[in-house]
Structure 1
């Protein structure tokens, strides 16, 4: 999900509604043996995909429901495979906050239609509590460590329908700069030439990023890459209605400076600015601490 812009919501979803009118045989094959499917119905919301709840009972007669997200086309196939890999990485790290991914694949009846399936959780309309959520996010960051000590991510992830590529890099400054180069280039290609935009892009890449992020690893300082969700705002998290636990979804993960996660929290249009101070009680700001808010402002730019 992206910004809650009515102009976007009013557009037709680029996936046929018929894709969630039945459970395709390819989906049935990846669900547990003995599962009795009783129906499928729209559930959740997405700008780019169709989403639904598969209602079912397991072999023991207990309710065992699944969530399916459906895309179409070659781009859609890349998106569902990327989401499966992304959410599997987050699930392995903190399973209490992530719906267990089941599989991704392509429909048998409509080969140009592709799906991502995970366990279904009934979500409330609340955002996670400030007394709980920042501490749990800090715990994600403390638990994770890049297996090879590098920043970035080996595969492209998707913010909405747009790919994001933060290549594996030895320093966070290099990783973030390369990632933003791609994001800025995509924006320019979408919006068309603009001299002011191009000048601001150049200043950001050549001046601001080296100044703010270079300082994190200057004068003997070090930061460790940790796995972040990558797009953590109130549209990508909720509360499990049955357990009361915070849940996160639609991740665009990468191994990053932990403060990168807080970029969306700084945006006034979101509901998380007060969560920032609570987070740093559990994961203190990096040195130089006086530039903490400046770094968050920089991290907002990928949104």
Structure 2
């Protein structure tokens, strides 16, 4: 099975047993449909009727091979971490796992939240409401180790992020940048200019800008961040008109670390 053979868009109600086990008891699948887009897999919507007759919908992502297993695990753990702190900010993550019928196919499952159509007035989050939720995430989250990092590898697109636990933000940031550069070099080959600029970045720029933040008694609180925060990973819920974020690849970092990274194909 490839990621395009999941019945999404065909109204197919045949769903892998591994996914069915994660749905509420006493449900009946009505249909599935394609929903949303992903550069690395397939995304869809599962529509079910619960035992009390109410309609409930779920969002599913499907990825392939070992990379897919790691990506779905990282997204689930990231979304769960955010949901545990600010549950109004993300759809409730339900499960991740592998198909019974196709063990090399992996899924991430969460509740479905309808978003307003992009391009119409009100489709982007209100800045004040969005900032309040993001601030709450940064302020209320507590690193389980008191350090910067995360307990599983998370992925910005298809790229693994550095998440090793570090006491120092400067050290964590430097290792994160080094890993990103190494991935770039592995994909596109070495560059003399990049090597020269990298030396200046690591040896002069980073210490000058980051070290004072943790000197002379100053302390940076490791805050949970989304990890890939840009307008494409945010929206406004239709029913509540509240901001939502999704596609998280989180870790504990400086609270101003939120940014989008380009991914390598």
The question of whether the paired residues in 2 share the 8 Å contact of 1:40 and 1:54 is answered with yes
TM-score (norm. length: structure 2) = 0.91
2:45 to 48, 53, 74: 53
- Once residues 165 and 248 of structure 1 are traced to their aligned partners in structure 2, the CA distance between those partners, rounded to angstroms, is 22
1:277-300 per-position Cα deviation (integer Å, ceiling 9, x unaligned): xxxxxxxxxxxxxxxxxxxxxxx7
Query: Which residue is 2:110 aligned to?
Result: 118
| Higher RCO by CA contacts (8 Å cutoff, separation 6 or greater) | 2
1:19 paired to 2:6: yes
| Structure 2: segments with no counterpart, 5+ residues | 9-13
Shift of 1:19: 2.2
1:193-212 counterparts in 2 under 5 A? Answer: 193-212=190-209
Q: TM-score scaled to structure 1, two decimals?
A: 0.80
1:166 CA displacement: 2.6
Q: Specify the alignment match of 1:191 in structure 2.
A: 188
Following superposition, the deviation at residue 301 of structure 1 comes to 9.1
Q: Which runs of 5+ in 1 are unaligned?
A: 1-14, 265-299
Q: CA RMSD in A?
A: 1.7
What's the CA shift for 1:18? Answer: 0.9
1:48/1:28 CA distance change after superposition, 3 Å? same
**Cα separation, partners in 2 of 1:224 and 1:302, compared to 1, 3 Å:** farther
Mapping 1:42-81, distance limit 5 Å: 42-81=34-73
Residues 181 and 44 of structure 1: is their aligned pair in 2 closer, same or farther, counting only changes over 3 Å? same
- Cα distance, 1:219 vs structure 2: 2.4
- Are 1:32 and 2:29 counterparts? no
Given the superposition, is the C-alpha separation of residues 114 and 40 from structure 1 closer, same or farther in structure 2, using an over 3 Å criterion?
same
- Return the offset for 1:220: 2.2
Aligned ranges 1:100-249 → 2 under 5 Å: 100-124=92-116, 125=118, 126-249=123-246
